[in-house]
Amino acid sequence: MGGMDTLAQIDLGRGQVTLRPARPEDVQALVDLIAADQLGATRDGVRDAADLAAYTAAFEAIAADPAHILVVAEMAGEIVGTMQLSFLPGLARRGALRAQIEAVRVAESSQGSGLGTAMMGWAIDEARRHGCALVQLTTDKSRLDAHRFYQRLGFVASHEGMKLAL
Amino acid sequence: MGGMDTLAQIDLGRGQVTLRPARPEDVQALVDLIAADQLGATRDGVRDAADLAAYTAAFEAIAADPAHILVVAEMAGEIVGTMQLSFLPGLARRGALRAQIEAVRVAESSQGSGLGTAMMGWAIDEARRHGCALVQLTTDKSRLDAHRFYQRLGFVASHEGMKLAL
């Protein structure tokens, strides 16, 4: 991914939002956004140089692989949203490519502005452009607002999302 | 992945099972195994050359990317199980690498033999060897036996698994 590329321009009424691939200098702000979330707060944050190194290594792994796009939503020079879109090959469903969305976050100041809907709309369109047969994500069972949000977009809660911490 | 590599040898009592990466010549048998499943039957199967070409293209995409391992379980020259293991980078959880498991199938003749448990045990160990912090999968809500199976292995059904067909 060219780091300077614009993925989409979104007019939210209250302002113009640019979707673009994340750059190395975004890592701290992205971790802050992930940690600002109620569930992320217990798991994420940059406390020292070792933390920043771990996040930077993950950023580099994402950026190095065209199967992943770490998306930043920027408004007036500030990061107001993020999500990761990944394209996963598989045999099932007639060899369908799947788009998987992880780590969707909208800054508190932009919640209710339509930004989340616009971000997901772009991701779904991008999945179509890549020829994906399916978009999938998991969302914590405690995030009831998120379930309604995704259902309004057409997602069906057909599966149990199971996790095993190592 | 070297196509001839053995990933693991499993002694099931009733016989020796080899886990190995899938080879191009396995595609038809793997699709048969996916289609033999109650849910897969409505979505999968090789009816004509176009189907086989679609599955083969998906196989090649998986085999070309070291982030994915399409695993075959072979006993006495027959394919008795399969699963796909993928390693996905991400920023959340301190830049954790995740292992994702998709398309787990055990042939009817090998169900109840401990093969599924052994396959998952290998996948979890492999995730640890790759430094993953998490193993994740989704399983259709109608597969109640599968939920119990994964819970016995330590998985927690903490998330809704949401899908949007395109």
Residue-wise pLDDT for B139-149, tens only, equals 999 999 999 99
Give the Cβ contact number of residue B16 at 10 Å. 12
Pairing of strands B78-88, A134-140: unpaired
A77 residue type, one letter: G
Beta strands in chain B (DSSP E): 8-11, 16-21, 68-75, 78-88, 98-106, 134-140, 156-165
Closest CA to B25 of B67, B55, B68: B55
Q: What is the pLDDT of residues A8-36, one digit of tens each?
A: 999 998 889 999 999 999 999 999 999 88
pLDDT at B2 over 60: no
**Å between B86 CA and nearest CA of chain A:** 9
The DSSP letter of residue A130 is: T
Higher-pLDDT residue of B43 and B161 is B161
Q: Mark yes or no for CB contact A164/B156 under 8 Å.
A: yes
ipTM above 0.90? Answer: yes
pLDDT at A4 over 70: no
* Residue A40: band (very low, low, confident or very high) from pLDDT cuts 50, 70, 90: low
**Å between A113 CA and nearest CA of chain B:** 23
Q: What is the pLDDT of residue A138?
A: 97
Find the residue in A nearest to B131 (Cα). A166
Q: What is the pLDDT of residues A82-137, one digit of tens each?
A: 999 999 999 998 999 999 999 999 999 999 999 999 999 999 999 999 999 999 99
Find the residue in B nearest to A48 (Cα). B94
Find the residue in A nearest to B66 (Cα). A65
Higher-pLDDT residue of A42 and A52 is A52
Distances in Å between the Cα of B19 and the Cα atoms of B23, B65, B69, B79, B122 are 12, 19, 11, 10, 9
Ranges A4-8, A144-148, B122-126: which has the least confidence: A4-8
**Å between A78 CA and nearest CA of chain B:** 19
Distances in Å between the Cα of B85 and the Cα atoms of A72, B24, B43, B62, B110 are 28, 17, 21, 10, 20
Mapping DSSP to helix (H, G, I), strand (E, B) and coil, where does residue B58 land?
Answer: helix
Looking at beta carbons, which residues of chain A come within 8 Å of B79?
Answer: none
pLDDT at A141 over 60: yes
Q: What is the pLDDT of residue B40?
A: 65
Work out the burial of residue A33: count CB atoms within 10 Å of its CB; fewer than 13 is exposed, 13-18 middle, 19 or more buried: buried
Q: What is the pLDDT of residue B4?
A: 58
> Given A84, A135, A163, which is nearest B155 (Cβ)?
A163
Q: What is the pLDDT of residues B29-66, one digit of tens each?
A: 999 999 887 676 678 888 888 999 999 999 999 999 99
Q: What percent of chain B has pLDDT over 70?
A: 96
Q: What is the pLDDT of residue B44?
A: 83
Q: Mark yes or no for CB contact A163/B136 under 8 Å.
A: yes
Closest CA to B39 of B96, B103, B82, B113: B103
* Residue A3: band (very low, low, confident or very high) from pLDDT cuts 50, 70, 90: very low
- Beta carbons of A62 and B89 less than 8 angstroms apart: yes
Q: What is the pLDDT of residue A111?
A: 92
